[in-house]
Amino acid sequence: MSSSTSSSRASAGTHLSATRASPVWVLLSVCLAALAMPLSFTGPAVALPALREALGGGPLALNWVTNAFMLSFGATLMAAGALADVHGRRRVFLWGLAIVGASALAQACLQGHGAIVGFDLLRALQGLGAAAALAAGTAGLAQVYDAGQRTRAFSLVGTSFGVGLALGPLLSGWLLEAVGWRGVVLSAGVVALAALVLGRRCMPESRNPQAQRLDVPGALWFTLALALLTWGVLQAPEAGWAHARTLLPLAAALLAAAAFVRVERRSPHPMLDLSLFRYPRFVGVQLLAAAPAYAFVVLLVLLPVRFIGVEGMAPLGAGRLMFVLSLPMLFVPLLAGWLTRWLSAALLCAAGLLVCAAGLLWLGRCAPGAGLAQMGAPLALIGLGIGLPWGLMDGLAVSVVPRERAGMATGIFSTVRVAGEGIALAVVGAALAVLLARELALVSPSLVSGLSEAAQMLVTGNMDGALGLLPGAAMAQVLQAYGRAFSTLLDLLAGITLVTAVSVFAFLRAGADMPHA
């Protein structure tokens, strides 16, 4: 880069260290970090039945295998972006990757029944590292590319995330059969280590000299609200929605959210600039960020559990089906960027969500035991549909905040996306448990207690445990009940996706007054 470019960036409010390297190597480092994130997320979902056998744990503890990572990841992204702006994006990026790798190694060292609690805690720690790496890495990347090149660079980051989603289940299935669950959890650590080594050599340090210290009260209230919300939702299938064990944490989550809004309104330097929600385009981008959570991401957890734990499919076979779901993520995001030459982002995003909704409805018609011939087309349709907005989201998000506030820009967008995924996983899992309990009551009408527990076991892929709680019920009957509940769930998700498509189109089209960087 030229010295004139460097000086102009310094005057814009960003200081770069003297270390220089080609932006391409910085991009590669951030892309590797982005690749590690979905491996951290999808791998344990594929390995969940094996984790249950090796480390023990009931349905609630097994639910936290995924939710602990997503909760800490989503809850700390904005704080990580603010820390990166103040203390240096390179520094926070490298520390985040180190935490991801170290926590993966520690997870692989656990053994013995009862160790699932330690595994969940390490997953939460891994989520913290992932938040630091993603927020700081993308903010640092924004400093080494100019406006026109930045959109293409972020598109490649999104594509790298898509590669992880596409190949992650297949890789995890192969590792699970070849070396066991430890190989699955270590895979993300290996990729994070590669990103760390490259980032340490090539990423220049940058920070925002106008950035203020971390908004600690806001960060704490936000994290507390998300944690209580997730805890309350996960309690619902076992205790019931009207039980105090569910209502108390949900009410406390509402109070914590209100306290967060109040703190942010009064703070001179808030973690989240709430005034941005006055602009339609900003609201549309946030709706778009949340859409993949219930239209696509929840399937990355629910389907491997269904294929392996409920239907008894081999891990590699389940990985092949999941690869069909995620395969479009390898090329559709790039195709979406190319199509913007002729079509608006609003139209492409809405069209993609409509296609995704159609795929969800179609998948809901596939009964348990259906193979690739029946499920391949709807799975590919879902991946194709979600790939269109996926390729445009990051570019749209970066455009809503000036470049010197890149940490906040990526933090807000990524927080909505990842926090939405964590909440969606908890809510959808709880909804599936409720639907399963209703269907299982038809299979065992004389059974008064145990239905909720059996339903939760099926949600976590424990077919044998569920059959043990359903005396007289045949496996074929339980599979049929599972199929009906899963079909109803997918119909609901398709309806939500349809409403989101219409809303996103309306908000993005109404965004002419949105401020630009």
Lowest mean pLDDT among 458-462, 481-485, 493-497: 458-462
C-alpha distances (whole Å) from 29 to each of 138, 194, 340, 395, 492 are: 10, 8, 27, 19, 39
pLDDT reported for residue 448:
57
Instruction: Judge whether residue 218 has pLDDT over 90.
Output: no
Mean pLDDT, residues 457-478 taken together? 83
Strand segments, DSSP code E, in 39-180 are none
Distance CA(372)–CA(379), nearest Å, equals 9
Instruction: Judge whether residue 205 has pLDDT over 80.
Output: yes
pLDDT reported for residue 397:
67
Go through 4-35 and write b for each residue having 16 or more CB atoms within 10 A of its CB, e for each that does not.
eebeebeeebbebeeeebebeebbbbbbbbbb
Lowest mean pLDDT among 1-15, 30-44, 209-223, 291-305: 1-15
Q: What is the pTM of this model?
A: 0.77
CATH of 18-214+271-509, one of 3.90.330.10, 2.70.98.30, 1.20.1250.20, 3.40.50.300: 1.20.1250.20
Residue with tokens 């026109």: 148
Determine if residue 219 is left, alpha or beta; phi over 0 gives left, psi from -120 to 50 gives alpha, anything else beta. alpha
- Across 130-144, 232-246, 400-414, the highest mean pLDDT is recorded for 130-144
Mean pLDDT, residues 388-396 taken together? 78
Which of the pair, 206 or 355, is modelled with greater confidence? 355
Mean pLDDT, residues 370-377 taken together? 87
CB atoms within 10 A of CB 129: 26
Which of the pair, 219 or 182, is modelled with greater confidence? 182
Nearest to 69 by CA among 133, 119, 134: 119
Compute the mean pLDDT over every residue in the chain, rounded to the nearest whole number: 81
Using only C-alpha atoms, the chain has a radius of gyration, in whole angstroms, of: 22
